[in-house]
Amino acid sequence: KALKFRPEQVIVNSVSATDTFMKLALANADAATVNGSISTAYLMDPQDPKYANNKYMKLYRAQMAKFSPQSDPNNGLFYYGFAKAWDVAKVLGLSGKTPSRAKLMSAVRHMNWTNPFMIPGVKEKTTGSDPFPLSQVKLIKFQDGRWNEFGSLINGRSGT
């Protein structure tokens, strides 16, 4: 605020593109500076009304109400943790009844599924030579306190 610096465009790393971090940005800047920031997303946003009736969003909200009723279910960091827990459970399940490091690593290096907490159409896939599971992302823009998706899914990595 003190510098009155107004960049033409703010690009936010997807890790920081949560309501929690943007509230901090708003507390240290003004809406005119923060609004219009652009990032990418691969998870559904618990604040987005278009996902309110999604059965997995309802499951997330029910579990939050049951196990952490004092927490804000709109907090994207809680939602992120829930979505990643789904992947961990899937990988552990694929590791068999007697998991070992080798079985776990094999499961992690052969991911090929859709996490139901992700934006529809985003898939997770790994191989022995490509350990990063995400290729698709959606552009999002911050406006008036929340992120809004725009456009269609895009390839989030070059060279693939």
What is the average pLDDT value for the chain, to the nearest integer? 90
Burial grade of 44 (CB within 10 A; 0-12, 13-18, 19 or more): buried
Of 156 and 91, more confident: 91
pLDDT band at 2 (very low <50, low <70, confident <90, very high): low
Does the pLDDT of residue 85 top 90, yes or no?
Answer: yes
Q: Are 95 and 107 in contact (CB under 8 A)?
A: yes
Q: What is the mean pLDDT of residues 111-129?
A: 95
Q: Which residues contact 57 (CB under 8 A, 6 or more apart)?
A: 44, 46, 51, 117
Q: How far is CA 101 from the centre of its chain?
A: 27
pLDDT digits 0-9 by tens, 22-80: 888 888 888 888 889 999 999 999 999 999 999 999 999 999 999 999 999 999 999 99
